[in-house]
Amino acid sequence: MADKSQNWILIVTAQTPTNIAVIKYWGKRDETLILPVNDSISVTLDPNHLCTTTTVAVSPSFEKDRMWLNGKEISLSGDRFQSCLREIRSRASDVEDEEKGICIRKQDWDKFHVHIASYNNFPTAAGLASSAAGLACLVFALAKLMNVKEDLGQLSAIARQGSGSACRSLYGGFVKWVMGNDASGSDSIAVQLANETHWDDLVIIIAVVSSRQKETSSTTGMRESVETSPLLHHRAKEVVPKRILQMQEAIQNRDFPSFARLTCTDSNQFHAVCLDTRPPIFYMNDTSHRQVLIINCIEKWNRSEGTPQVAYTFDAGPNAVLIARNRNVATLLLQRLLFYFPPHPDTELNSYVIGDKSILQDAGIEAMKDVEALLPPPEIKDNVPSQKYKGDVSYFICTKPGRGPVVLADESQSLLHPKTGLPK
Amino acid sequence: MADKSQNWILIVTAQTPTNIAVIKYWGKRDETLILPVNDSISVTLDPNHLCTTTTVAVSPSFEKDRMWLNGKEISLSGDRFQSCLREIRSRASDVEDEEKGICIRKQDWDKFHVHIASYNNFPTAAGLASSAAGLACLVFALAKLMNVKEDLGQLSAIARQGSGSACRSLYGGFVKWVMGNDASGSDSIAVQLANETHWDDLVIIIAVVSSRQKETSSTTGMRESVETSPLLHHRAKEVVPKRILQMQEAIQNRDFPSFARLTCTDSNQFHAVCLDTRPPIFYMNDTSHRQVLIINCIEKWNRSEGTPQVAYTFDAGPNAVLIARNRNVATLLLQRLLFYFPPHPDTELNSYVIGDKSILQDAGIEAMKDVEALLPPPEIKDNVPSQKYKGDVSYFICTKPGRGPVVLADESQSLLHPKTGLPK
């Protein structure tokens, strides 16, 4: 076994994407194991624009498990972190690094402590599923460090115990979280429906909105919905199973009209269930008309085109996620969004539209004067709004479906110092 | 038979209340006959504050059926008016007025034309069920004029064909619209659960809000919900039947906690179904945060008291209807409402709180300075809003459960001139 007095450090860095559900997860049948009341389906978002990077390290010199999130130390004592650490440790295998002279035996892993540093390339509190990407990345990186032999599906069941939707971040492309039946949760895992190259026409624009009000946490909200909403149970038992089959088929066939219809109606139904909860939960409209404006804009546009151009979906927060059928539609969408939600005069356009900025170029927008010159969308005709909503959106992220977790072999990307094991 | 060359006029004036559903009607199984997908229950509102007055007249000198609403002539050609007129005429009986020398035989009624004048003592477009009160009053007044022998239940089935919820305005107090089973609609009628004296502690405050945006009409909205919302059908079949029984029991026992819980959850569920409709319908949040603020205020207050003090319910429009368990609670409620929604500085307090103004006196509010001096509700503690919502509410109406339709015998209350049969 490795000599604990030695001052070696073994380090792994991984990058994991976030994901947005198009058939929503809302409601647990088991709160501890995080087992859902229905299947859900998500699109993995391109990690170039939204991802978590996590470095995990093990060393005989570490005196306890420690974690830093975006450079700040946080507690690892929560049940969810502990579940993930325990489950991964219990599956650890022998690790040998001849070069460094390290050899850790399977049975000795629980004698070592780990350091974890995690970083989101997007604001943590922005409601962009940072916990999904974060827990998935933690599990994935630890599994690599500890030479866990389990496949991604089995790892997804571990990530699930950290944060339900984290299980869907273990694959790229289009992912289904199968609710499973077993009381142990062993069959409540994520499976990939199609990888990110399967339907690469899609373009995703996220309107990030700063919420002025604390929302109900999704853990609390779900619990209250399960306990009080009669519609939730009908949704879970009768509505979602059919939609899951339809959504799988839509993804399989790259059938955008069906994909958009299912995405929008399922987002609305999730928020309907929130409203049917006692007391009612308002994720969609707690602070403003923004979401309603965006929904009405997309619905009107889709109707005027005769077939859906864009799908919208809203999670348990105020951000809008808009999925355009192709790049051309995405440029038209970005023009509409900037028409309704121009940046504050003191905001740089360059920091107002981030991610894949080529969409901005395709839209012919290079400077604020181009935003000011935008014409109202043709489908609203004489109904031009008297009011624009300057400053109502913090920024837009242009992205697309993306790949699953990867190990970053380049040591320069490590978040922990190779000698000290502390954040760089 | 009456001599048509004679210039007599026979006039009847009636007054009919409006009503607010506490278990909502949303969705028709027959669009023509207006047959609902579920039972509903309403509270009749005091006609002293909200009512329609309708004068109907018959004369051999009238050349066609004519109608005036709030002094302006409107078309009677709509199917719904025509249904009501036809159904009432077909049930007319002999009418004799010896004093005037009038005698109309049953079989001759369809040779005579009628004039109808109707007036709401509240703004027609304010979304306060003016069509319910209006159609109920039309049917009631015509039935009196034409000596129709049918009971109120049978009249309610006729009023229903004019406007669904009109059937519930034929009784005072607490009223159930039984959906019925028959394809003819003959058993889809209103029945009185309890009269207005049964539970006279209740005080109702309505926040009338001017909507800045045209809402989906309820006829269109219902049709779209029936066609596209999977949750609507579950609600109608599984949820409402149980709630109807619970609500009847709550009313019977004057059990305010159950009454309030059912009223609030059913209002929220109705709006949840609207959101589950494709495209989604936003009655609760199309223009502002007002409704969410009111709901959060009431929910927080009810929780802090340990038992519900106030119930809220919202129809297919932006107005809030708030039901307080008694006068004392109503004064506390009015204080809270005026704290959050003070009148515009150029609004007279006297025209900002209308109806039963004694609630305002009980609340110790006599002038604007008293509104300005209102303290934040104790339950919000340190969470005092930085913003008040001046001008967001047009006015408040203080009222209570009230009586059903009556004939106004005093000729001075007639809306038609006794000689010409034209609006006074």
The verdict on B356 and B247 lying in the same domain is yes
3-class secondary-structure state, position A129: coil
CB A339 within 8 A of CB A376: yes
CB of B379 within 8 Å of a chain A CB? The answer is no
Please report residues of A whose CB lies closer than 8 A to that of B313: none
Burial of B115 (0-12, 13-18, 19+ CB in 10 A): buried
Residue A2 belongs to some domain of the structure: no
The verdict on A209 and A73 lying in the same domain is no
Nearest to B322 by CA among B392, B237, B260: B260
Residues A42-71, mean pLDDT to the nearest whole number: 95
Q: Do B230 and A230 touch (CB under 8 A)?
A: no
Nearest to A50 by CA among A140, A141, A123, A137: A123
Q: Do A239 and B261 touch (CB under 8 A)?
A: no
Owning domain of residue A329: 203-399
CB of B261 within 8 Å of a chain A CB? The answer is yes
Residue A5 belongs to some domain of the structure: no
CB of A285 within 8 Å of a chain B CB? The answer is yes
Residue A216 belongs to some domain of the structure: yes
Give the pair of three-digit tokens for residue B189.
Answer: 């009628």
Q: Please report the pLDDT score of residue A115 as a whole number.
A: 97
Residue B80 belongs to some domain of the structure: yes
The verdict on A144 and A281 lying in the same domain is no
Tens digits of residue pLDDT in A219-270: 999 999 999 999 999 999 999 999 999 999 999 999 999 999 999 999 999 9
CB atoms within 10 A of CB B74: 14
Q: Please report the pLDDT score of residue B5 as a whole number.
A: 53
Q: What is the rounded CA–CA span in Å between residue A400 and residue B63? A: 70
Residue B420 belongs to some domain of the structure: no
CB B17 within 8 A of CB B204: no
What total number of domains does chain A contain? 2
Mutation pick from B214, B234, B262, B263 vs chain A, by most beta carbons of A within 10 Å, is B234
Helix axis angle for A256-275 and A240-252, nearest 10°, is 150
Cα separation values, B327 from A246, B205, B300, B361, B373, Å: 54, 11, 20, 12, 21
Q: Do A265 and B278 touch (CB under 8 A)?
A: yes
Q: What is the rounded CA–CA span in Å between residue A141 and residue A154? A: 14
CATH of the domain at B278: 3.30.70.890
DSSP assignments along A90-103, one per residue: HT---EEETTTTEE
Q: Which residue of B has its CA nearest to A283?
A: B292
CATH of the domain at B97: 3.30.230.10
Of A231, A286, A289, the CB nearest to B234: A231
Q: What is the rounded CA–CA span in Å between residue B226 and residue B281? A: 13
Of A238, A261, A275, the CB nearest to B271: A275
- The residues with which A207 forms a beta bridge, in sequence order, are A320, A396
DSSP β-ladder status, B102-104 and B51-59: unpaired
The verdict on B58 and B157 lying in the same domain is yes
The verdict on B133 and B241 lying in the same domain is no
Q: Which residue has the tokens 């989604």?
A: B280
CB of B284 within 8 Å of a chain A CB? The answer is yes
CB of B280 within 8 Å of a chain A CB? The answer is yes
CB of B311 within 8 Å of a chain A CB? The answer is no
Residue A135 has pLDDT above 80, yes or no: yes
Q: Which residue of A has its CA nearest to B285?
A: A285
Give the pair of three-digit tokens for residue B377.
Answer: 């509700």
Q: Please report the pLDDT score of residue A98 as a whole number.
A: 87
- Host H or E run for residue A228: helix A218-228
Q: Please report the pLDDT score of residue B2 as a whole number.
A: 47
In chain A, the N- to C-terminal Cα span, in Å, equals: 29
Cα separation values, A107 from A110, A151, A155, A158, B330, Å: 7, 20, 20, 20, 69
Please report residues of B whose CB lies closer than 8 A to that of A234: 230-231, 234, 238
The verdict on B140 and B62 lying in the same domain is yes
Q: Please report the pLDDT score of residue A2 as a whole number.
A: 47
Residue B303 belongs to some domain of the structure: yes
Q: Please report the pLDDT score of residue A386 as a whole number.
A: 57
Q: How confident is the model at residue A379 (pLDDT cuts 50, 70, 90)?
A: confident
The verdict on A38 and A60 lying in the same domain is yes
Of A261, A276, A279, the CB nearest to B272: A276
Task: List, edge to edge, every strand of the sheet that includes A310-314.
Answer: A310-314, A320-324, A203-208, A395-399, A353-355
The verdict on A190 and A230 lying in the same domain is no
Residue A419 has pLDDT above 90, yes or no: yes
Q: How confident is the model at residue A288 (pLDDT cuts 50, 70, 90)?
A: low
Q: Please report the pLDDT score of residue B293 as a whole number.
A: 84
Residue A423 belongs to some domain of the structure: no
Q: Please report the pLDDT score of residue B283 as a whole number.
A: 84
Collect the ranges in chain B with pLDDT lower than 70.
1-6, 124-127, 129, 210-215, 285-288, 382-387
CA distance, residue B13 to nearest chain A CA (Å): 43
CB of A346 within 8 Å of a chain B CB? The answer is no
CB of A278 within 8 Å of a chain B CB? The answer is yes
Instruction: Give φ, ψ of A31 to 5 degrees.
Output: -75, -35
Residue A210 has pLDDT above 80, yes or no: no
The verdict on B122 and B231 lying in the same domain is no
Q: Which residue of A has its CA nearest to B282?
A: A292
Give the pair of three-digit tokens for residue A163.
Answer: 């944060």
Residue B4 belongs to some domain of the structure: no
Q: Do A272 and B268 touch (CB under 8 A)?
A: no
The verdict on A173 and A213 lying in the same domain is no
Contacts for B184 with CB less than 8 Å, ≥ 6 apart: B33
Please report residues of A whose CB lies closer than 8 A to that of B275: 268-269, 271-272, 275, 284
Tens digits of residue pLDDT in A343-353: 988 888 999 99
Q: Please report the pLDDT score of residue A387 as a whole number.
A: 65
CB of B264 within 8 Å of a chain A CB? The answer is yes
Q: Say whether the peptide bond before residue B342 is cis (omega within 30 degrees of 0).
A: no
Q: How confident is the model at residue A1 (pLDDT cuts 50, 70, 90)?
A: very low
CB of B289 within 8 Å of a chain A CB? The answer is yes
DSSP assignments along A274-320, one per residue: HHTSSS---SSSSS-SHHHHHHHHHHHHHHHHSS-SEEEEE-SSS-E
Q: Which residue has the tokens 């170029």?
A: A361
Better pLDDT: A23 or B285: A23
Residues A162-174, mean pLDDT to the nearest whole number: 97
Q: How confident is the model at residue A38 (pLDDT cuts 50, 70, 90)?
A: very high
CB of B268 within 8 Å of a chain A CB? The answer is yes
Mean pLDDT of chain A: 92
Residue A383 has pLDDT above 80, yes or no: no
Q: Which residue has the tokens 């004068």?
A: B55
Mutation pick from A216, A265, A267, A389 vs chain B, by most beta carbons of B within 10 Å, is A265
In chain B, the N- to C-terminal Cα span, in Å, equals: 29
Q: What is the rounded CA–CA span in Å between residue B326 and residue B309? A: 8
Give the pair of three-digit tokens for residue A303.
Answer: 């109707």
Q: Please report the pLDDT score of residue A213 as a whole number.
A: 52
Q: What is the rounded CA–CA span in Å between residue B241 and residue B232? A: 13
The verdict on B34 and B183 lying in the same domain is yes
Nearest to B328 by CA among B291, B359, B354, B292: B359
Q: What is the rounded CA–CA span in Å between residue B176 and residue B154? A: 14
CA distance, residue B271 to nearest chain A CA (Å): 7
Q: Please report the pLDDT score of residue B55 as a whole number.
A: 98
Give the pair of three-digit tokens for residue A361.
Answer: 């170029």
Q: Do B230 and A269 touch (CB under 8 A)?
A: yes
CB A167 within 8 A of CB A190: yes
Please report residues of A whose CB lies closer than 8 A to that of B264: 278
User: What is the CB-side half-sphere exposure of residue A95 using CA atoms within 13 A?
Assistant: 24
Q: Do A275 and B275 touch (CB under 8 A)?
A: yes
The verdict on A29 and A65 lying in the same domain is yes
Q: Please report the pLDDT score of residue A285 as a whole number.
A: 62
Of B231, B275, B288, the CB nearest to A234: B231
